[in-house]
Amino acid sequence: MKQSILVVGCGNMGSALTRGLCLDKWHNKYEFCLYDKVLPKAIQIANELDLSYVADINEVKSEPYLIFLAVKPNQIESACQSLSQFRNSIFVSLAAGVNQEQLQKYLGEGRPIIRMMPNLGVEVGEGVVALHYNSLVNEENREDLLFVFSSLGWIFEAEEKEFDQITALSGSGPGLVAVFLEAMMDAGVNIGLPWEKSLKMVVQTMLGTATWLKKKNCHPGLLKNMVCSPGGTTIAGIKRLELSGFRGIVMDGIETANRRAKNNMAEE
């Protein structure tokens, strides 16, 4: 019988993660089962990817190998309580700001738990995925899980104390980048381009810049210098951004997200 993977919560991240896990053919090795208290969300992803779903958690008969907890941080405690019958499953929590100690309290002693911080890029195999294992996830499982997660993008192990920073930078990152891209697109419209054309140019520009930096593995300042001709258009635009405190604003945005993750998602 195939081992099973249960995804609890099929919202933005649960669905992105499931799509990402199914990018590689290996996923046929596992029986996927989706569950969301809003049933149509589970049905939609299950139909799209040809996976199973349950309308009630009690319909899950055999103990899953892996259980993803993809519910909001303030829903994680009750989600854990509803899964307490699965004593041998490995639990993977995606919840921002919820640490291993809290997860263990919600799930009870003796559970193998992984804290994961993914980002939306996992859906297209280009995610950033940080993992922290508790001591009950053994070496054999860790190796097997790296294989399971391999289709999601860049996977790395991190210390727990780094998780709030990772949450702010790469977890929230796609949202901040999207705002920047939207502003670039609007800028294109403002100087007379249709938004569709402007967006296509902006997305391709971002992709090319990110791919260049990834391939060359160098400091972004070097790229910037290569684009800035002396007395040219780029440096004129950058001067205007710097006068507005652009860098400081971006750094402040990430710091604020970090503070919120640290404060357990409470208001600062």
Ligand X SMILES: NC(=O)C1=CN([C@@H]2O[C@H](COP(=O)(O)OP(=O)(O)OC[C@H]3O[C@@H](n4cnc5c(N)ncnc54)[C@H](OP(=O)(O)O)[C@@H]3O)[C@@H](O)[C@H]2O)C=CC1
Ligand Y SMILES: O=C(O)[C@@H]1CCC=N1
Binding mask 153-192 vs ligand X (x if CB under 6 A, - otherwise)?
A: ------------------x---------------------
73 assigned binding-site residue: yes
User: For ligand X, which residue of 28, 47, 62, 78 counts as binding (CB under 6 A)?
Assistant: 78
96 binds ligand Y (CB under 6 A): yes
Q: How far apart are CA 183 and CA 196, in angstroms?
A: 14
Q: How many CB atoms lie within 10 A of CB 85?
A: 10
19 binds ligand X (CB under 6 A): no
| Pick 46 or 70: Cβ nearer ligand Y | 70
Contact 69, 75 (CB under 8 A): no
Task: Tell which residue, 10, 64, 6, 2, has the closest CA to residue 32.
Answer: 6
170 binds ligand Y (CB under 6 A): no
72 assigned binding-site residue: yes
User: For ligand X, which residue of 29, 38, 211, 242 counts as binding (CB under 6 A)?
Assistant: 38
User: For ligand Y, which residue of 112, 167, 185, 199 counts as binding (CB under 6 A)?
Assistant: 167
Contact 10, 42 (CB under 8 A): yes
User: For ligand X, which residue of 5, 6, 7, 14 counts as binding (CB under 6 A)?
Assistant: 14
- Closest separation in Å from C-beta 120 to ligand Y: 8
C-alpha torsion sign, points 244, 246, 248, 250? positive
Q: How far apart are CA 85 and CA 62, in angstroms?
A: 11
C-alpha torsion sign, points 84, 89, 93, 98? positive
- Closest separation in Å from C-beta 32 to ligand Y: 23
161 assigned binding-site residue: no
Contact 117, 96 (CB under 8 A): yes
Residues 185-244 that bind ligand Y (CB under 6 A): none
Amino acid of residue 124: V
User: For ligand X, which residue of 96, 131, 137, 185 counts as binding (CB under 6 A)?
Assistant: 96
SS3 78: helix
| Pick 171 or 188: Cβ nearer ligand X | 171
C-alpha torsion sign, points 222, 226, 228, 229? positive
Q: Which residues are annotated as a binding site?
A: 70-73
Question: Could you list the residues that contact ligand X (CB under 6 A)?
Answer: 8-9, 11-14, 35-38, 41, 70-73, 75, 78-79, 82, 94-96, 117-120, 171
